[in-house]
Structure 1
Amino acid sequence: MVNQHDAKSKVTIDKNFEDLHRPFDLLQAKAEASNCLYCYDAPCIKACPTAIDIPTFIHQIRSNNLLGSAKTILSSNIMAGTCARACPTEILCEQACVLNSSEQEPVKIGELQRYAVDHLIDLELTNNQAHPFQRQSLTGKKIAIIGAGPAGMSCAHKASMLGHDVTIYEAKSKAGGLNEFGLAAYKMVDDFAQREISFLLNLGGIEIKHGQTLGQNLSLDELQEEFEAVFIGVGLADSNELIYEGEINNKVTSAIDFIEQLRQAEDKSTVEVGSKVLVIGAGNTAIDAAIQSKRLGAQSVTLVYRRGEESMSATNWEVDLARQNCVNLLFWCAPKSMSEVDGKSSMVFQRTKVENNKLVTTGEEIKLETDRVLTAIGQKLDPTSLPAMDIKAGKITVSGNYQTSMEGVFAGGDCIASGEDLTVQAVEDGKQAAYAIDRYLLKSKQAEGEI
């Protein structure tokens, strides 16, 4: 935990941002694997959005077949290393573990998954271990992918495996999306996001072009002319704006921007955080921003939410972690105004309650002094970059096979209507969209008489 007296020292900051979960060694992994009951029709598989064969990969760990275990995992989820670190396993596979119905704890599936996948990636990147997957016969078809986040990278890998050539267009200087820019630094240490990308690209057949932004220097119409199919996996890049009275904007920052700055900083002790930090929001991003503010040395961090704790989208595990890091949680308060007097800023909140199934203010107000406000009230899609596409409720509308309203254009991940704001679901969307694109291209070849 942060020592307030020397919190800005590099040594202390580096320690505060060490790996949240110390990885298993071989003995720990085999001991944990022995707890699995290897269920028939295992509920943990059904709870995993990518349907990883969990009993099989755990049995392979127990049998000393680490490469086989990793391949079992990666065949369903090519970004399983990130998912093992960031996935809310406590509400997915581990919640479904049958041991939860007994007095035992569930099998630590996420940590076992990380152990196996990290072993293979380390071998592949450092010891010239052959890539575990090979491409099928080349089809000569070209696919454009917009966005190098989890959905885009997953789609690219599967499409390349199916024999298609893939070009990814990415706005930022690095691939990875939220895996690289949007997760708490203590969840993704040792530049793992980029190591995972390098591993994925070693399959071949995938090119990434950076600095390419849809609606600016990248045209969907031009991509449709050059490529046989297009996949959109742009996520939700824009942050919802906090509305309040007053004009003290220089102290209000998007939590996503703050997390990105921290993730990309070579020396985290140089990142300014403030002394009295307010975080507005109730999701995992808000929790990440609050905990990291505290670990950077903020004297006080208060997470403020307009509803009660039971309505938070953050998992119970994340909320508990915030409390362990001395983050204050303030419920039933909505921002009203911000002001500055004699160089000191404060934000006024209105107390709220639910009345007749509607959130209303009670008339009571509280004032909190602050020198930094981080907003985490949701992300949104920029619809101006997709003027010809059917968009409802701020997200792209797709059919059951991930096809948009435009011919030959597919989409997946957080940017589509069914997006669940989970990395693992975005990976599954990308994978399934690649299969859908493959079927689409096959029909096109049949229609053109190529086969």
Structure 2
Amino acid sequence: MANGHQASGIVAARLSADTLADNFNDLHPAYAPHEAAVAADRCYFCYDAPCMTACPTDIDIPQFIREIQAGHPESAARTILGQNILGGMCARVCPTETLCEEVCVRETAEGKPVEIGRLQRYATDALMAKGDHPFTRAEPTGKRVAVVGAGPAGLSCAHRLAMLGHDVTVFEGRGKPGGLNEFGIAAYKSTNDFAAREVDWLLGIGGITIETGKALGDGVTLDGLKADHDAVFLSIGLSGVNALRAAGEDLAGVRDAVDFIEDLRQADDLASLPVGRNVVVIGGGMTAVDAAVQSKLLGAENVTIAYRRGREAMPASRFEQDLAASRGVKLMFNVMPVAILGEAAVTGVELEYTTVEDGRVKGTGETVTLAADQVFKAIGQTLDGAPDGVALDGGKIAVTGAGKTSVAGIWAGGDCASGGDDLTVTAVAEGRDAAMDIHSALMA
């Protein structure tokens, strides 16, 4: 809790262990082989397929679905993984409803797209179950590359560099690799320690060393990395959290949503996790939805997402909004926090209704108060710990082309870099493309 105390309404074990296990089952269960065959048969295998254009990693979607249709899921997986080495996790967490599936011709014609994400999971799971790594390393180049951050961008970059024959050391500040895939994804989207298993599988390429407990400014310096390596890739994520700037923000029972999600993802026993009876989540992105839905799944009675703009402007997709509503989460639009109420611990949230004029949110003066014993802040994250000397753009590391920073020999990608849209799949693409650019520079 913010001040070291816990609000009295926040307790553990609101639900039985069996109920919790049911609540946190896979959001989209894996296909059985016959289900995958039926789903694959719906694909039109379009020429200039719009789904490929919509995929940030440019996976040849018609090709991999054709391979599933032909009964060769392992071949389909190789098609996927050649473009997106974290295709297994992306199949689980990608907002396919606003990417490949949104533009599927079946969606346009019938309102029901080919379930590309579930087909991708079917293929990648089939290959990973065999235990073999589908790629081999090139002959050693003698070049050494440092990757800072073992999230999706860093892992993608490291794998591609290793495959090209370079030796890669990944420095990770946390106790285990994975980044947001390990610590920041809703537990019902990535079950059975999949994130950790995918990392272990990825490392099967060889040539990658991961050193945990080492971050920039904490055991690692940029000058030291440059001195010891031929190139550096920064994928340090966004570890800072925006403040509400509202009275009462430091009351017990108020905390960052990302910390709550991390605690849940790392918990050995879901029944040990305390949750409030009345929960309010401030924000409108995926983190807000994940925190709200999981609060409800843990047994909170009343959960509300409060977002300062209208539904159409909410960063979380309509699918995620509907998912939250289907789990009993109330969505409030055009409201912003004025104050967190309470003395030692939070007892409520005062919200002001808003309007949007010329793109700017303004309060109307009308307020409403919600009962709350737990409040989660999910209003965006910021870059924390950017290295000195590297130019920034809009609060992120400025990059050009395939991740070049303002400093020669240093590249960056993922959430910490300018551009992109803070998606796992985009981070994978940026890491892959930076690796190819680093390779070209090193071998020139």
Q: Do Structure 1 and Structure 2 share a fold, with TM-score over 0.5?
A: yes
Q: 1:166 aligns with which of 161, 165, 168?
A: 168
SS at match of 1:95: coil
**Which residue is 2:203 aligned to?**
201
The one-letter code of the counterpart of 1:325 is R
> Counterparts in 2 of 1:47-66, with a 5 A limit?
47-66=54-73
**Which residue is 1:183 aligned to?**
185
**Which residue is 1:3 aligned to?**
none
Q: Deviations over 1:141-189 (max 9, x none)?
A: 0000000000000000000011000000001111111001001000000
Q: Distance in 2 between matches of 1:357 and 1:70?
A: 44
1:426 aligns with 2:427: yes
Q: Deviations over 1:9-43 (max 9, x none)?
A: 11111111011111101100001111111111111
Deviation at 1:397, TM superposition (A): 0.4
Identity within the alignment, %: 48
**Which residue is 2:32 aligned to?**
25
> Counterparts in 2 of 1:107-146, with a 5 A limit?
107-124=114-131, 130-146=132-148
Aligned length: 433
Q: Distance in 2 between matches of 1:8 and 1:157?
A: 41
Say whether the 8 Å CA contact 1:167–1:207 is kept in structure 2.
yes
Say whether the 8 Å CA contact 1:248–1:339 is kept in structure 2.
no
Q: Deviations over 1:228-254 (max 9, x none)?
A: 000001111111112111364321111
Q: Deviations over 1:182-225 (max 9, x none)?
A: 01000000100011101100110000000011112210110000
The one-letter code of the counterpart of 1:332 is N
**Which residue is 2:366 aligned to?**
364
Unaligned 5+ segments in structure 1 are 1-5, 125-129, 444-451
Say whether the 8 Å CA contact 1:381–1:395 is kept in structure 2.
yes
Q: 1:12 aligns with which of 7, 13, 19?
A: 19
Deviation at 1:343, TM superposition (A): 6.7
**Which residue is 2:313 aligned to?**
311
TM normalised by structure 1 equals 0.94
Deviation at 1:391, TM superposition (A): 0.8
SS at match of 2:356: strand
The one-letter code of the counterpart of 1:258 is F
Identify if the C-alpha distance between structure 1 residues 226 and 8 changes in structure 2 by more than 3 Å, giving closer, same or farther: same
Q: Distance in 2 between matches of 1:338 and 1:50?
A: 42
> Counterparts in 2 of 1:213-362, with a 5 A limit?
213-246=215-248, 248-340=250-342, 345-362=347-364
Say whether the 8 Å CA contact 2:253–2:346 is kept in structure 1.
no
Deviation at 1:402, TM superposition (A): 1.1
Say whether the 8 Å CA contact 2:252–2:345 is kept in structure 1.
no
**Which residue is 2:390 aligned to?**
389
Q: Distance in 2 between matches of 1:104 and 1:363?
A: 41
Q: Distance in 2 between matches of 1:15 and 1:112?
A: 24
**Which residue is 1:442 aligned to?**
443
Q: Distance in 2 between matches of 1:349 and 1:330?
A: 10
Unaligned 5+ segments in structure 2 are 1-12
**Which residue is 1:377 aligned to?**
379
Deviation at 1:401, TM superposition (A): 2.7
Q: RCO (CA 8 Å, sep 6+): is it higher in 1 or 2?
A: 2
Q: Distance in 1 between matches of 2:419 and 2:348?
A: 38
SS at match of 1:64: coil
Identify if the C-alpha distance between structure 1 residues 403 and 269 changes in structure 2 by more than 3 Å, giving closer, same or farther: same
Q: Distance in 1 between matches of 2:339 and 2:274?
A: 24
Q: Distance in 2 between matches of 1:412 and 1:342?
A: 42
Say whether the 8 Å CA contact 1:277–1:293 is kept in structure 2.
yes
Q: Distance in 1 between matches of 2:304 and 2:110?
A: 35
Say whether the 8 Å CA contact 2:156–2:431 is kept in structure 1.
yes
Q: Deviations over 1:247-290 (max 9, x none)?
A: 64321111110000000000011101111100000001100100
Q: Distance in 2 between matches of 1:256 and 1:41?
A: 39
Say whether the 8 Å CA contact 2:254–2:346 is kept in structure 1.
no
Aligned-residue RMSD, C-alpha: 1.5
After superposing on structure 2, the runs of 4+ consecutive aligned residues of structure 1 that deviate more than 3 Å are: 341-344
**Which residue is 1:68 aligned to?**
75
Q: Deviations over 1:346-379 (max 9, x none)?
A: 2211111123443211111111121100011001
Q: Distance in 1 between matches of 2:48 and 2:249?
A: 58
